[in-house]
């Protein structure tokens, strides 16, 4: 049952049942080629998943880079639905901390703010990233 009221308090229960809403921090497992990506959901649609984040293989390097104050621009990527094998919320597992908790402990920054896209300007045929500190995110996006 979906709530259609315009009152924000009435819509809150619907959002609580949507764990993969924009803003959620997730780990996406992809196939062909197999890789994992840690990031913040920008959009989830039948066509695919848009994330702002980094490859899981470079998570430790990313945390050190951010901790040391080096410039970082999260990659803004779109994965078509046929590449998605699994998407899971970044949650702790028993006594093991989540990646978000580890990132916060190492950097002192909340992952949701660190993974927010810096500046997206709507272009003619798509989106273009603008950030004077790094072009790495533009190349991967």
Pick the CATH number of 8-140 from 1.10.10.10, 1.10.40.60, 3.30.70.270, 2.30.30.100: 2.30.30.100
* 3-class DSSP state of 131: coil
Of the segments 13-17, 37-41, 110-114, which one has the largest average pLDDT value? 37-41
Full-model pTM? 0.72
User: Comparing 22-31, 68-77, 112-121, which segment has the lowest mean pLDDT?
Assistant: 112-121
pLDDT digits (tens, 9 = 90+) for 36-68: 999 999 999 999 999 999 999 999 999 999 999
Greatest Cα pair distance, the chain, in angstroms, is 48
Residue 96 CB coordination number (10 Å): 9
Domains of the chain, residue spans: 8-140
What average pLDDT does the chain have? 80
Residue 119: what pLDDT?
59
């Amino acid at each position: 049952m979906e709530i259609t009221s315009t009152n924000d308090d009435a819509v809150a229960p619907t959002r609580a049942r949507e764990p993969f809403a924009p803003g959620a921090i997730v780990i996406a497992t992809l196939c062909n080629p197999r890789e994992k990506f840690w990031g913040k959901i920008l959009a989830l649609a039948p066509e695919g998943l848009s994330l702002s984040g980094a490859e899981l293989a470079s998570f430790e390097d990313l945390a050190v880079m951010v901790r040391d104050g080096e410039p970082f621009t999260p990659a803004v990527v779109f994965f078509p639905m046929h590449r998605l094998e699994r998407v899971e919320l970044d949650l702790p597992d028993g006594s093991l901390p989540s990646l978000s908790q580890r990132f916060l402990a190492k950097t002192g920054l909340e992952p949701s703010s660190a993974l927010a896209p810096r500046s997206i300007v709507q272009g003619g045929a798509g989106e273009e990233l603008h950030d004077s500190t790094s072009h790495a995110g533009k190349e991967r996006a």
